[in-house]
Amino acid sequence: MITTYREAMRQAIRDAMQRDERVFVMGEDVGAYGGCYAVSKGLMDEFGPERIRDTPLSESGFTGAGIGAAMGGMRPIVEIMTVNFSLLALDQIVNNAATLRHMSGGQFSVPLVIRMATGAGRQLAAQHSHSLEVWYAHVPGLKVLAPATVEDARGMLWTALEDPDPVIIFEHVGLYNDKGELPDDAGAVPIDRAAVRREGSDVTLITYGGNLGKCRTAATRLEAEGISAEVIDLRTLRPLDDETIMDSVRKTHRAVIVDEGWRTCSLASEISARIMEQCLYELEAPVQRVCSLEVPIPYPQHLEQAAIPQPETIVAAAKEVLGR
């Protein structure tokens, strides 16, 4: 079945709510409006306002309510409209959801799923377009997911809701209209493993979320020039799947990390450090990082596109590590 990323995520929510009456959705405009990106469109009519709950514009308030509901035995899906707005709930996520199991000596768990849009490319300007996934990947006690395919959008939510600890799912805004094949028997997807999306032998392209398509495009362009690029989709940003990353780097001996976050203190920095800690003597060139420019994401389309990774910048980085 061909479906969109948006529809796959909606189906994942619908299936979860049909399967478990403890599951409910809460967030800004998720109900009558159908969600800022139309992911929850129609679900309020199907499940009613008790299970598709519109909230006030108070990220700290409704995220805290979600934490309390999870501790009370429910399985809430909290939607935060965009990652930039999640900073208003940072105290609840980092100081409460992520720490309660530890601080209670294992007596309490917080089976909470938080979904939020991330990334640039939709001309939503600097307060709606940043990629702050690494802020959350830095925090022990959280699992951080970045589904990049229709199948992962459908299957990762299933697994996240079964986890006893808080899980954050980042959905890149550039993916919602993407179409892909969803098997009729699609089910749960692991949330602790990266995936090799394309086999290659000359250079490893490591990425996640909205940049997977750009890396695939870059790999196709490189192939036309006789360069074989392997593409790794991280899928899970915490915990990182070191085994899949290192196996690929040991095979190709070169790595380019593509990350829409800013270069300084980025997820790309962490992965680069791990590669050099574990595979230094396998490398035939320094690890390259392709990140967003160190500026607030601009509003004008041409400036926005110039500020974020593009296939041509990925191709250039791959050629550089190959000495071409």
**pLDDT tens string 139-171:** 999 999 999 999 999 999 999 999 999 999 999
Residues written for the chain: 324
What are the chain's domains? 2-181 (3.40.50.970), 195-321 (3.40.50.920)
Structure tokens at 12: 């994942």
CA distances from 264 to 270, 293, 299, 306 (A): 10, 10, 22, 18
Q: What is the mean pLDDT of residues 79-97?
A: 97
Phi, psi of 207 (to 5 degrees): -155, -170
Nearest to 276 by CA among 309, 242, 233: 242
Residue 324 has pLDDT above 90, yes or no: no
Catalytic residues: 59, 128
pTM attached to this predicted model: 0.96
**Tell me: the pLDDT tens digits for 246-284?**
999 999 999 999 999 999 999 999 999 999 999 999 999
Nearest to 141 by CA among 97, 90, 89: 97
pLDDT of the residue at 223: 98
Distance of alpha carbon 146 from alpha carbon 169, whole angstroms: 6
| pLDDT at site 182 | 87
Q: What is the DSSP letter of 68?
A: H
Determine phi and psi for 52, rounding to 5 degrees. -120, 90
pLDDT digit string, tens, across residues 226-244: 999 999 999 999 999 999 9
Q: What is the pLDDT of residues 22-60, one digit of tens each?
A: 999 999 999 999 999 999 999 999 999 999 999 999 999
User: Which two structure tokens, joined as six digits, stand for 38?
Assistant: 């139309």
